[in-house]
Structure 1
Amino acid sequence: MSGSNFIDYVKICSRSGHGGAGSAHLHRDKKNAKGGPDGGDGGRGGHIILRGNSQLWTLLHLQYQKHVIAGNGENGSASHSTGAQGKDIILEVPIGTIARDAESGEQMAEIIEDGQEIILTPGGRGGLGNAHFKSPTNQTPRYAQPGEPGIEEWVILELKLLADVGLVGFPNAGKSTLLSVVSAAKPKIANYPFTTLVPNLGVVAYRDYKSFVMADIPGIIEGASEGRGLGIRFLKHIERNSILLFMIAADSPDIAEEYRILLNELETFNPELLDKKRLLAVTKSDLIDEELEAEMRQTLPTDIPTVFISSLTQKNITQLKDMIWQALNG
C-alpha cells in the first residue's frame, strides 16, 4: 500500500429509497360491477447496506462517491399486486470499518467479518393497500397508506486495521524493514523522520503453514497523542492489534527511556492499550557486539520479553516469530 491509495476515512451522504404507496383500487369487471378492494401494497424502499470484503484494505473506492442513493419502492396496484422493491445499494468495505453518524459521532455499525452485511440506512416501508382495511363495517375502503419516506443522513466510514501484531516505535526504528523481511509486504523504506505515512500490512508465514498478520503503524513521535506529527489518526489503528511489538534501535541513547515515552504516548491516547500483550525487539543489533549487548541487557525494562534482532543479518528473526506466536496463543 502506498500513501496515494490508502484511505481510512470517508464521509458520504447515504439516502435510502422511499417506500411505494399502497393502492386504493376497487375491483371491477363485467361480472362484478362492485367488487371489493384489491389494492396491493407498495414496495419497500431500497436499503444502503455495508458488506465486509476481506480483499479490500482501503476505503479508496468510496472516496469520490459522495452521494449514495438507493432506489424507491414502486406503488402497489390492482389485483393485490405488490409494488417492486427499491434497488438496494451494497457498499463493499474492508474488515474493520466503522460507520458513525456524522452529526452525533455515534457508532452505527461495525464490520468485523468477511461477507457480513449490516443495513446502514434502511429504506422506507411500503404503504398497505386498501385490501388490508376491509372490515364488516367498511366493505369498500377507498384509502391506502402512503409509503414511508427514505432516510437521508451523512455518515462517516472509518477504517481501523485488523492485525495480530502492531509494530510500535519511533521513526527509523526498523519497522518497515522488519515487515519487508518477514512478509511479502513491500513498504516504502527510507531514512527520514516519517518513513511510513500509511499503515502497511503483511502476512507473516510461520511454522507448519501457520501465519499471522503484522501491521507497521506510522512512527510515533512524542506528542502524537495530542495531534502532533501524524497524530491520533494513525494511533487509532493500534487499538485493534492483539499484541504490540515495541521496536527500538540498538543505537538509541537510552532504550528504557524511549520505551517509557512510547508507552506514555499510547496511554495518553487510550489507557486500554496498555492492557495488550507487549514484546520488545531491539533492532539493528548487527551494529553492536556481544559484549555491548550483554551490557545493554542490564538496562532494559524488566516487565517485557525482549529479543535483540537484525533484519539485515536475520539475527533472531525466527526467535522473534516464536515469541509472537506464543504471545498470540498463550
Structure 2
Amino acid sequence: MATSNFIDYVKFCSRSGAGGNGSVHFRREKHVPKGGPDGGDGGRGGHIILRGNAQLWTLLHLKYKKHVIAGRGKNGEGARRKGADGEDIVLEVPVGTVAREADTGATRLEITADGQEFVLTPGGRGGLGNDHFKTATNQAPHYAQPGGEGVEEWIILELKLLADVGLVGFPNAGKSTLLASISAARPEIADYAFTTLVPNLGVVAYRDDKSFVMADIPGIIEGAAEGKGLGLRFLRHIERNAILLFLVPADADHIGEQYRILLSELERYNPELLDKKRILGISKADLLDAELMKALDAEIPKGVPHLFFSAVSGYQLARLKDLIWNALQ
C-alpha cells in the first residue's frame, strides 16, 4: 500500500435527486369527451447508495469527489404513466467504512460485508397524479402532488481496517519487521521513527491452511490521544481488531512502563479498546540471553500473556503465532 495511495478519510457533499411532479391530466378520446383524471405519478428521486467492495482497501477513488449528485425523477404523464425514477449513484467503498454526518459527527451507517448496501441519502418521493385525488364530490381535480425535494448534506467517510490482530507500539518497536517476517506484506523498514506512515495489512499463514490478518498501525507516541504524532489519525483502525498485540522492544528503558503508556493512550482515545484481548510481545529478544530475559520478566505486568521473540532471527515466532491463534479462538 503506497503512502500516497492510502486514503482513509474523505468528506463530500451528498445530494439526492428531487422527486418528479405528479401529472394533472384528463382522459380525452374521440368518443370519451369528458373522461376522468388519469394523471400519472412522478418518479422517485435518485438515491446516494454505499456498497461494500472487498477488493477495495482505500478511499482514494473518492478523494476528489467533492459533490455527488443523484438524478431527478421524471414528471408523471397522462394515461396514468408514471415518470421514471431518478438515477441512483452507487459509491463502492472498502469493507470497514463508516459514514458520519459532518455537522454532528453522528454515525449514519457502517459497511461490514462485501456487497452490503445502504441508502446514504434518500431521494425525494414522487408526487401523486391527479388520478389519486378524485372523489365523489370532486370528480375532476385540477391539482396533483409536487415531487419531494432531494436532500443535500455533507458526509464524512472513514475507513477502519478489518483485521484480526492489530499491532500497537511506539515507533521502532519492530512492528513492520514482524509483519514482514510472518506474512507476504512488505512495509517500509528503517531505523528511524515513523517509518510506517500508513497502516499495512498482511495475511499470516498458520497450520492446516488456516490464516489470520494482521495490521501494522503507525507508531503511537505519548499524547497520541490528544493528536500528537501520527497516532490519533490511525487509532480508529485498532477499533475493529479482535486482538491487540502490544510490542515493546527488549532494549526499552522499562518494558512495563512503555506498556502502561500505550494502554493509557488507547483508554483515552476509546475506553472500549481495553475490553479487547491483549498480548504483550517483547521484540528484539535476540539481543538477550536467558539471564536477562528472566530479569526483565519482573518488569512485565502480571496477568498479561507475554512472549519474548525476535522477528529477525525467528526466535519464538512459531510460538507467537500459536499464542495469537489460540486467543482468536
Task: State TM-score, norm by structure 1.
Answer: 0.97
- Aligned partner of 2:124 in structure 1 is 124
- Aligned partner of 2:291 in structure 1 is 291
Point out where structure 2 has 5 or more consecutive residues left out of the alignment.
Answer: none
**Quick one: percent identity of the two aligned structures?**
68
Secondary structure of the 1:137 match is coil
Q: 4+ residue runs of structure 1 moved beyond 6 angstroms?
A: none
Matches within 5 A, 1:18-167: 18-167=18-167
For the Cα contact (< 8 Å) 1:2–1:187, is it kept in 2?
A: no
Residue-by-residue CA offset, 1:284-314 (whole Å, 9 max, x unaligned): 1111122222222233222211111111111
For the Cα contact (< 8 Å) 1:51–1:93, is it kept in 2?
A: yes
Q: Matched residues in 1 for 2:218 and 2:325: separation?
A: 23
Secondary structure of the 1:14 match is strand
Q: Matched residues in 2 for 1:142 and 1:45: separation?
A: 24
Secondary structure of the 1:149 match is coil
Secondary structure of the 1:25 match is coil
- Aligned partner of 2:300 in structure 1 is 300
Cα distance, 1:235 vs structure 2: 1.4
Quick check: 1:253 aligned with 2:253? yes
* Letter in structure 2 aligned against 1:270: N
Task: State TM-score, norm by structure 2.
Answer: 0.98
* Letter in structure 2 aligned against 1:240: R
Secondary structure of the 2:3 match is coil
Q: Matched residues in 1 for 2:145 and 2:205: separation?
A: 60
- Aligned partner of 2:227 in structure 1 is 227
Secondary structure of the 1:150 match is coil
* Letter in structure 1 aligned against 2:277: K
- Aligned partner of 2:170 in structure 1 is 170
Q: Matched residues in 2 for 1:121 and 1:298: separation?
A: 56
Point out where structure 1 has 5 or more consecutive residues left out of the alignment.
Answer: none
Secondary structure of the 1:157 match is strand
Residue-by-residue CA offset, 1:152-178 (whole Å, 9 max, x unaligned): 111111111111111001111110011
- Bigger CA drift: 60-69 or 177-186? 177-186
* Letter in structure 1 aligned against 2:62: L
Q: Matched residues in 1 for 2:55 and 2:34: separation?
A: 60
- Aligned partner of 1:263 in structure 2 is 263
Secondary structure of the 1:82 match is coil
Cα distance, 1:269 vs structure 2: 1.5
- Aligned partner of 1:325 in structure 2 is 325
For the Cα contact (< 8 Å) 1:134–1:140, is it kept in 2?
A: yes
RMSD (CA atoms) = 1.1
Secondary structure of the 1:235 match is helix
Secondary structure of the 1:220 match is coil
Q: Matched residues in 1 for 2:238 and 2:279: separation?
A: 14
- Aligned partner of 1:314 in structure 2 is 314
Q: Matched residues in 1 for 2:299 and 2:256: separation?
A: 7
Q: Matched residues in 1 for 2:134 and 2:206: separation?
A: 69
Cα distance, 1:236 vs structure 2: 1.7
Q: Matched residues in 2 for 1:198 and 1:147: separation?
A: 46
Residue-by-residue CA offset, 1:34-73 (whole Å, 9 max, x unaligned): 1111111000000000111111111110000111000100
Cα distance, 1:13 vs structure 2: 0.4
- Bigger CA drift: 123-132 or 201-210? 201-210
For the Cα contact (< 8 Å) 2:39–2:80, is it kept in 1?
A: yes
Residue-by-residue CA offset, 1:228-262 (whole Å, 9 max, x unaligned): 11141111211221111011111112111111111
* Letter in structure 2 aligned against 1:138: N
For the Cα contact (< 8 Å) 1:281–1:309, is it kept in 2?
A: yes
For the Cα contact (< 8 Å) 1:2–1:188, is it kept in 2?
A: no
Q: Matched residues in 1 for 2:167 and 2:2: separation?
A: 18
Q: Matched residues in 2 for 1:266 and 1:5: separation?
A: 27
